[in-house]
Amino acid sequence: MTERAAELRTTMRAALKDAMKSKDKAATSALRSALGALDNAEAVPAGAAPDTGSDNVAGAVPGVGTADVARKELTADDVTGIVRAAVDERRANAADYDRLGQHDAAETVRYEATVLARFVD
């Protein structure tokens, strides 16, 4: 992960702690969701781990760490893009809620978008 990407994630984690301390449920939810999306983006694709086989198969390599695969490294642009997509999704959801007459839900989702937008705008 690049330095800027790590800095952005650290800032978001600090904001999550603050939101939790202040019992701001909407901000906590938005930040947890965005940080989870970043973690998911770093995940190793299925099938990327080497086949370690077993002790009874020729060529198998036993031992701790033999199946470890490095997570994907996110750039600052990757992190910003993921968070920006979360902001855009919430804004679209707020518009849908407004169209359905659920203005309280729209306001909550719009607030979540505002919380996340401060990290990418």
CATH number at residue 15: 1.10.1510
Q: Is residue 107 part of a domain?
A: yes
Q: Please tell me the pTM assigned to this model.
A: 0.79
List per-block mean pLDDT (blocks of 10 residues) for the chain, which spans 121 residues. 86 97 97 95 70 55 61 88 96 97 97 96 80
Q: Is residue 61 part of a domain?
A: no
Instruction: Provide the number of structural domains found in the chain.
Output: 1
Q: What is the pLDDT of residue 22?
A: 97
Q: Is residue 62 part of a domain?
A: no
Read off the amino acid at residue 18: D
Q: Is residue 63 part of a domain?
A: no
Q: What is the pLDDT of residue 32?
A: 97
Q: What is the pLDDT of residue 28?
A: 97
Q: Is residue 65 part of a domain?
A: no
Domain residues for the domain of 112 are: 3-42+73-117
